[in-house]
Amino acid sequence: MFVLHDAFFPVPCSLTKMNRTPIIFLNVLVIATCGLVYELLAGTLASYVLGDSVTQFSLIIGIYLSALGIGAWLSGFIDTGLARRFIEVEIAVALLGGFSAPLLFLSFARLSYFQVVLYAIVLGVGTLVGLELPLLMRLLKDTLAFKDLVSRVLTFDYIGALVASLLFPLFLVPKLGLVRTSLAFGLLNAAVGLWATWLLAPLMKGKVTGLRLRAVAVMVLLVMGFIKADSLTKLAEEDLFADEIIYTKTTAYQRIVITRSRAGFQLFLNGHLQFSSADEYRYHEALVHPAMMAAGGKPHRVLVLGGGDGLAVREILRYPTVESVTLVDLDPAMTKLSAAFPPLAELNKHSFADPRVQVINQDAMIWLENAVAPFDIAIIDFPDPNTFALGKLYTTRFYKLLKARLTPEAALAIQSTSPLFARQSYWCIMKTLEAAGFAVRPYQTAVPSFGVWGFALARLQDFAPPTVAPSGLRFLDDRAMQGLFASSTDTSPVPVEVNRLDNQALVRYYESEWKRYE
């Protein structure tokens, strides 16, 4: 059969004779499928990490398609050794495409780096795939009439696309996961390359051993990757989800997530930690008892704003004199969860089942405008002021509305973010309370899950901070109560503006301060 190896009838005839052409079209199918799978992987990971899937997918499709064009154009510069080049390209696709997802996973941590890797991979894979088809068509050009050649190559190319787009969401992602999908298709690519060394052997001058060795080496690497895939994914995802998620719900107002770890469980609202069951007692004892004791330790009518987890109410109900607790929290899903979700309900000692507790699901500011009965204690436990909607709950207007609903002897306590991480924000809250006509005693404590945490204790007249704690608490005793009010240099006052509805100074401080820690 090597007779035909002459200048006039180069190789293809031999292929025809061997009747290998149909098998070669299988090659086209695999190439097309793999190419599209890599593209889909890149798109999925990009939307996962960078968000905005519309932009990410269209960017990636755009880059991929134009890279195909670059590849096709480059193919014009290859004049000799078509078959050999074809197989080399195939092996290169296997290596780059196969490791694309693992590489992207590993560059999760640094976003700017991630984007560079992402677009480089898409461009690279696209260029290589773009090279392959023209090379293949040229290999086959004398075997088939031009019209059949074009029709078949394109048919298999598009069938490949269909296969990939069906397999990807239905089978690959759910069954294999992103990393293994990527590696598996790399293997498939490399295997096809290896196979082609036999298939196209008639067309290649010289030895093919080098090619085969390369293909095998790539396959070994990919198999190793496949075995290690689990630890790789873990490594990357560890940062995103630290613990097992035991409850999630997206309500009209927020996203609630509860996770469990060895130390207990944690509540997140919109991704921000609200408490950890391991140390929440420090936070809630510090939030509730200073106000209670400052007002004489015999509270009757208590108002809680925010605090839908019921943990502050648990502390409040320790006082037998309490006649009523009115809790105003925006989100009915949150208060229901606290009443009914066993680990939470146990943690808050079923405080929502107490007949003295009344729950109102409304925006606290709007509720305050119409509230009537005077309260002798107010405990304010809102999320940190990271949106304008929350920022309004820390304004002079809000505190003035609240003031009008308090008895003259009342005391109130406010969670006031961290005086260490968000010093301006903290002092802005203190200054705003003063501007609203309160006498303010700032205090702080350490809550391991949060760090150094700040509060405000306020009353309508000047007052001395409390020196005694009720008995039976886990954190506060008399000494610890006095210690709350000790000041420290790195959290001492800084000059700030008053937070008003018409300037929302606090949200702006908060954003600039926490940005530094993100």
Window of 140-148, 392-400, 423-431, 483-491 that interacts with another protein by CB under 8 A: 392-400
Q: How far is the CB of 344 from another protein (least distance, A)?
A: 23
- Residue 228 or 500 with smaller CB distance to another protein: 500
Nearest to 375 by CA among 337, 422, 409: 409
Binding of another protein by 334 (CB under 8 A): no
Binding of another protein by 392 (CB under 8 A): yes
Cβ atoms 196, 87 nearer than 8 A: yes
Q: 414 Cβ partners below 8 Å, 6+ apart? A: 380, 429, 433, 455, 456, 458
How many Å is the Cα radius of gyration of the chain?
A: 34
Nearest to 493 by CA among 437, 432, 436, 419: 419
Window of 22-30, 130-138, 341-349, 495-503 that interacts with another protein by CB under 8 A: 495-503
Cβ atoms 304, 325 nearer than 8 A: yes
Q: How far is the CB of 113 from another protein (least distance, A)?
A: 24
Binding of another protein by 515 (CB under 8 A): no
Window of 59-67, 168-176, 389-397, 509-517 that interacts with another protein by CB under 8 A: 389-397
Binding of another protein by 503 (CB under 8 A): yes
Counts for the chain of helices (H) and strands (E), in that order: 19, 11
Window of 305-313, 390-398, 419-427, 480-488 that interacts with another protein by CB under 8 A: 390-398
Distances (CA, A) of 260 to 124, 148, 248, 276, 372: 42, 62, 12, 9, 41
- Residue 396 or 417 with smaller CB distance to another protein: 396
Cβ atoms 391, 379 nearer than 8 A: no
- The number of angstroms, rounded, from the C-alpha of 92 to the middle of its chain's C-alpha atoms is 33
Cβ atoms 401, 436 nearer than 8 A: no
Query: CA 392, CA 136: separation in Å to the nearest integer?
Result: 66
Query: CA 231, CA 386: separation in Å to the nearest integer?
Result: 36
Phi, psi of 62 (to 5 degrees): -60, -50
Residues 200-259 that bind another protein (CB under 8 A): 252-253
- Residue 75 or 504 with smaller CB distance to another protein: 504
Phi, psi of 33 (to 5 degrees): -60, -50
Burial class (CB in 10 A: 0-12, 13-18, 19+), 453: buried
Strand partners, 477: none
Window of 178-186, 224-232, 241-249, 393-401 that interacts with another protein by CB under 8 A: 393-401
- Residue 254 or 274 with smaller CB distance to another protein: 254
- Residue 57 or 475 with smaller CB distance to another protein: 57
Window of 9-17, 119-127, 306-314, 362-370 that interacts with another protein by CB under 8 A: 362-370
Binding of another protein by 388 (CB under 8 A): yes
- Residue 305 or 365 with smaller CB distance to another protein: 365
Among 16, 387, 407, 482, binds another protein (CB under 8 A): 387
Annotated catalytic, 381?
Answer: yes
Residues in the chain: 518
Among 242, 389, 468, 494, binds another protein (CB under 8 A): 389
Q: How far is the CB of 389 from another protein (least distance, A)?
A: 3
Q: 347 Cβ partners below 8 Å, 6+ apart? A: 277, 280, 311, 314
Binding of another protein by 446 (CB under 8 A): no
Q: How far is the CB of 365 from another protein (least distance, A)?
A: 5
Binding of another protein by 439 (CB under 8 A): no
Element (H, E) at 71: helix 53-75
Query: CA 145, CA 275: separation in Å to the nearest integer?
Result: 72
Residues 169-198 that bind another protein (CB under 8 A): none
236: its two tokens:
């990357």
- Residue 34 or 368 with smaller CB distance to another protein: 368
Binding of another protein by 116 (CB under 8 A): no
Binding of another protein by 395 (CB under 8 A): yes
Q: What is the 3-state secondary structure (H, E, C) of 179-193?
A: HHHHHHHHHHHHHHH
Q: How far is the CB of 425 from another protein (least distance, A)?
A: 16
Among 396, 415, 417, 444, binds another protein (CB under 8 A): 396
Binding of another protein by 500 (CB under 8 A): yes
Nearest to 493 by CA among 441, 439, 438, 457: 441
Binding of another protein by 267 (CB under 8 A): no
Binding of another protein by 301 (CB under 8 A): no
Query: CA 500, CA 495: separation in Å to the nearest integer?
Result: 16
Among 142, 363, 434, 513, binds another protein (CB under 8 A): 363
Catalytic residue among 157, 279, 329, 381: 381
Among 180, 397, 431, 441, binds another protein (CB under 8 A): 397
Q: How far is the CB of 391 from another protein (least distance, A)?
A: 8
- Residue 53 or 503 with smaller CB distance to another protein: 503
Among 365, 402, 447, 458, binds another protein (CB under 8 A): 365
User: Contacts with another protein: how many residues (CB under 8 A)?
Assistant: 18
Q: In what order do the strands lie in the sheet with 324-328?
A: 357-360, 324-328, 301-306, 375-381, 406-415, 451-459, 439-447
Q: Which residues are catalytic?
A: 381
Q: Using CB under 8 A as the criterion, which residues of the chain lie in contact with another protein when the complex forms?
A: 252-253, 330, 363, 365-366, 387-389, 392, 395-397, 500-504
